[in-house]
Amino acid sequence: MKNTFKLFAAIAVCIMLFASCKKEPTPTPEPTIETGLEGQFMPERKITSIERFNLVGDSLSPLVQNHYEWDGDLLSKITQTQFGGTFVFSQTIHYDSLNRIAKIDDVRSMEENNTFSEYVYEGKELTKVNRYKGNGELLEEYTFIRTDGKVTEVQKYTYMETTNYSFHTVVWEGDNIIQNTLTENGSPVPTDYTFDDKINPLYGLFDDGFYTSLTVVFSANNVLTSTMVMDYGGINLTTTSTYEYEYDDKGYPVKATSVKNVGPVNITSITNFTYLE
């Protein structure tokens, strides 16, 4: 009996030792998402608002405010209001599994003007944007043409009573677009740009207005000058704009002062940027 007891005790000790030496299961690592893809807008500093004013004499005349809402590292909503709180539009942003902008719902003050846009990618690159009326009817179609990986042309088809076609062709220098030519109704309108060497806070934000702000969306730095030449029946009208910036310690603009010269008329505007701390 005594030997039997010792045998059971020895077995129990072995079981305890085996259990204590058994390896814990290795936790499954969280999947990592590749960064640096087009459509991913995850800047180091997150914008919370952009306010625009016109300078009339010595007084600032308020124009609009853009408010930016974030869900972690991802921009979730942009709301534009006039000063005083009058609603202009909101854009709610949806993402795919790679944190790329996949859809934007655009809500306007007049419900019949509501639209949504869907973003199509091939590999790492944005290839197409389709914009629909709120009822799902195709309104606009944008196609991105590339040379050596960089966008060199953006084509736009608008489907209304008739189909309208326009396109931008762009010229690059480094990471910035130094010339952007809009051709509409067969008439090319070129605009030339120069840039600073600081961070453009809107770089890579394919919002609902990207087509009219291609240079800003695709350029890594901030515009210093722009010169646009339009031909009216052989008469050239040149519009020039100059920009001066104040920057924070990370190289992001906190204030921009622009002066637009259209013939004899000068228009001065102030833009203020605020960011999450």
Query: Using one digit for the tens of pLDDT, what is the confidence trace for 33-45?
Result: 788 899 999 999 9
Name which of 93-97, 104-108, 117-121, 205-209 the model is least confident about.
Answer: 205-209
Identify the band that residue 18 occupies on the pLDDT scale cut at 50, 70 and 90: very low
Q: Over 60: is that where the pLDDT of 4 sits?
A: no
Q: Over 80: is that where the pLDDT of 184 sits?
A: yes
CA distance 200 to 273: 11
Give the model's pLDDT for residue 7: 42
Give the model's pLDDT for residue 12: 47
Name which of 15-19, 75-79, 143-147 the model is least confident about.
Answer: 15-19
Q: Over 50: is that where the pLDDT of 132 sits?
A: yes
Give the model's pLDDT for residue 81: 96
Q: Over 90: is that where the pLDDT of 179 sits?
A: yes
Identify the band that residue 56 occupies on the pLDDT scale cut at 50, 70 and 90: confident
Identify the band that residue 23 occupies on the pLDDT scale cut at 50, 70 and 90: low
Shortest CA distance to 154 belongs to which of 128, 172, 120, 191? 128
Give the model's pLDDT for residue 31: 54
Give the model's pLDDT for residue 28: 52
Query: Using one digit for the tens of pLDDT, what is the confidence trace for 192-204?
Result: 999 999 999 999 9
Identify the band that residue 9 occupies on the pLDDT scale cut at 50, 70 and 90: very low
pTM, two decimal places: 0.85
Give the model's pLDDT for residue 32: 67
Higher pLDDT: 99 or 2? It is: 99
Shortest CA distance to 74 belongs to which of 51, 97, 106? 97
| Overall average pLDDT of the 126-151 stretch | 95
Contact between residue 140 and residue 131 where contact means Cβ atoms under 8 Å apart: yes
Q: Over 80: is that where the pLDDT of 72 sits?
A: yes
CA distance 122 to 103: 16
Q: In the chain, what are the domains? A: 47-275 (2.40.160.190)
Give the model's pLDDT for residue 119: 97
Give the model's pLDDT for residue 112: 87
Q: Over 80: is that where the pLDDT of 30 sits?
A: no
| Overall average pLDDT of the 67-86 stretch | 95
**Phi, psi (5° rounding) for residue 216?**
-70, -45
Contacts of 231 (CB under 8 A, 6+ apart): 187, 189, 237
| Overall average pLDDT of the 189-216 stretch | 95
Query: Using one digit for the tens of pLDDT, what is the confidence trace for 220-250?
Result: 999 999 999 988 777 788 999 999 999 999 9
Give the model's pLDDT for residue 236: 81
Contact between residue 275 and residue 252 where contact means Cβ atoms under 8 Å apart: yes
